[in-house]
Amino acid sequence: KENFETREFQAEVKQLLDIVVNSLYTEREIFLRELISNSVDALEKFRYQSVISSDLADKDALPLEISIEVDENNKTVTVADTGIGMTRDELVENLGTIAHSGSKEFIRQLKESEQKDLNLIGQFGVGFYSAFMVAKKIRVLTRSYRPGEPGYEWVSSGIGSYDLGPAADLRRGTRIILELKEDAADFTKPDRIKELIRQYSGFVPFPIKVNGEQVNTVQAIWARNKSEVTAEEYNEFYKFIANAFDEPLYQLHFSADAPLAINSLLFVPKHNYERYGFGRMEPGVNLYSRKVLIQQQSDNILPEWLRFVKGVVDSEDIPLNISRETTQDSALMNKLQKVITGRFLKFLNKQSQEDPAKYAEFWNTFGMFLKEGATTDFAYRDELAKLLRFESSGAEPGQLVALADYAGRMKEGQKDIYFINGPSREVIEAGPYLEVFRSCGYEVIYTYEPIDDFVLSNLREYEGKKLVSADSANLELPGLADQPGEEALDSAKTEALTAWLKEILGDKVSEVRSSARLVESPAIMLNLDGVLTSSMQRVMQAAHK
Ligand code: ADP
Ligand code: MG
């Protein structure tokens, strides 16, 4: 074609397309969900622009909608929207490169796996390319909402490169034309497409038309009354908003009038991809005002450590034209964050009491984020302390204990809460630190990860009880002052032995002393200043290497 140029895909895109084009998939239909979700994004961005600015291409002339056309004779599926469209630079950037580090890890894992599962593709910012599962050739016709921007055409068969050039007579928005592979002709059946839309995209907040006929019912489910929404509707909405294919672990739907007017619907997913090394999660909650999307994946509605939460927060008290800068530090946004975060943590606490087994599942998957919060965020310290769970000497292996459980069964006269860090329950229980606690019958919390000690040291205390590492040198425990046994060394010999040990160990220790603290073991390493536990010291040393 005239004035077209051929451009190479970025290396990562080539790798991804190589897999997408050349592998066989069972769930190819997800391509439609991905294209529709891109159209929704584009329409929401346009709706937002049209609220804050008046100078836009085709501003009032085009209805905000998605139209899908299938052509059984030519074997094509076309997905068109009247969203923001793309400029030439945006086309090159968005449909030729991959920026996000998580998507690179996704591609690497996809390459190595036998069973290629593309269902997650949308979560890694590369959903568009899934269309090459069913298309042998894709044409993208697009025109930006910016006045004066011309239209462009992008064409590719997904192998190595794409062609890019001008396109005349386009209106605002994007039209994606898939020339289907021979074995994907099924997708030209209108009934099949309608069924898929109902299955995957029922909650899209814009009309979706298939060959002219509207398929979905448009609704902002979060603004409806709780009692009028069915479990299935919640699940479907979750799948839509979180790009997920399964059901959420938790869901919290609430409204408030004071101190702000809020309609909010939050979800906790079942899986934590950050834990599997897919890179840092993006925030997952969208900010709306009167059903207009203000900020997608807003980083201000919840603190960073709640980035695993998905959902929608709609507040009519947030002005529509609030700018990105103002969402970052306005008093209003701070207030909103406080309300939503407090509400969510309270919800978790309630869940933990109502269904401890389910909460344990949550804790094992997302506990790392609450620990992150407990070490970095002072504002929610008390709420977070209630949500922490650990194993302990007072519970069966695998059973989790809350600080409240511990506090509730402390021995008479016991003032502090004790914890000890070790790689596993077996190692801790075989070590010397527990001896004295066993002999006086005090429970000890087991922590298996170095961050746990930072969490507990940061908390300092729980309901007036100090959190103390069991390896600190100055423990006040009953029985420590007891008479030494018959086989004990006399004081002269003890002094000679400790002096000799100090000489041998030199700078490695600051003090060697005798103690009544051990029952079975001959010697123990203790932590004199008690500020950093030994596990924290190991972390610091590793960090300074
Ligand atoms: P993601 O949607 O997660 O960003 P995709 O691979 O699905 O990843 O899409 C890549 C980008 O291409 C989008 O972020 C968007 O900028 C652009 N894009 C895709 N489809 C459209 C569309 N219909 N209208 C406007 N931009 C689009
Ligand atoms: Mg997408």
Residue in the structure block whose two tokens are 């205390």: 461
Determine if the pTM surpasses 0.95.
Answer: no
pLDDT at residue number 141: 98
| Ligand 1 atom 3: residue of nearest CA | 125
Annotated binding site for ATP: 34, 38, 81, 86, 94, 101-102, 123-128, 174, 324
Residue 42 in contact with ligand 1 by CB distance below 6 A: yes
Q: State the closest ligand 1 atom to the C-alpha of 38, by its place in the atom list counted from 1.
A: 20
The region, left, alpha or beta by phi > 0 then psi within -120 to 50, assigned to residue 297 is left
pLDDT tens, residue by residue, 407-462: 999 999 899 999 999 999 999 998 888 988 988 899 999 999 989 999 998 899 99
Q: Does 38 contact ligand 1 (Cβ within 6 A)?
A: yes
Residue 53 has which token pair?
């600015």
Residue 243 near ligand 1, beta carbon < 6 Å: no
Does the Cβ of 184 fall within 6 Å of ligand 1?
Answer: no
Cβ–ligand 1 distance for 83 under 6 Å, the answer yes
d(CA 322, CA 527): 52
The three-class DSSP label of residue 478 is coil
How do 292-295 and 310-314 pair as beta strands? Answer: unpaired
Residues in the chain: 545
Span 43-60, pLDDT tens digits: 999 998 988 888 888 888
Q: Measuring from atom 11 of ligand 1, which residue has the nearest CA?
A: 94
List pLDDT tens digits, range 493-512: 888 888 898 899 888 888 88
Q: Which residues, by Cβ under 5 Å, contact ligand 2, an ion? A: 38, 127
Among the atoms of ligand 1, which is closest to the Cα of residue 79? 23
Ligand in closest contact with the CA of 39? 1
Q: Is 297 in the pocket of ligand 1 (CB under 6 A)?
A: no
The pLDDT, as a whole number, for residue 508 is: 84
**pLDDT value for 484:** 57
Specify the 3-state DSSP secondary structure of 344.
helix
User: Cα(170) to centroid of ligand 2, in Å?
Assistant: 22
Q: Is the Cβ atom of 39 under 6 angstroms away from ligand 1? A: yes
Structure tokens at 11: 């290396």
CB of 17 shorter than 6 A to ligand 1: no
| Low-confidence stretches of the chain (pLDDT beneath 70) | 218, 321, 323-329, 479-487, 529-531, 542-545
35 in contact with ligand 1, CB cutoff 6 A: no
Helix/strand/coil for 320 = coil
Predicted pLDDT of residue 120:
74
* Position in ligand 1 atom list of the atom nearest CA 37: 2
pLDDT reported for residue 112:
84
How many Å apart are CA 298 and CA 275, to the nearest integer?
A: 22
* 125 CB near ligand 1 (under 6 Å): yes
Q: With a 6 A CB cut-off, is 44 part of the ligand 1 pocket?
A: no
pLDDT value for 431: 87
**Alpha-carbon dihedral 39, 40, 44, 45, rounded to 10 degrees:** -40
Q: Among all ligands shown, which has an atom nearest to the Cα of 130?
A: 1
**Atom of ligand 1 minimally distant from the CA of 85:** 25
Q: Whose CA is nearest to atom 4 of ligand 1?
A: 125
Q: Which ligand is nearest to the CA of 94?
A: 1
Q: Best of 31, 41, 149 to mutate for ligand 1, by most ligand atoms within 8 A of CB? A: 41
CA atoms of 353 and 251, how far apart (whole Å): 16
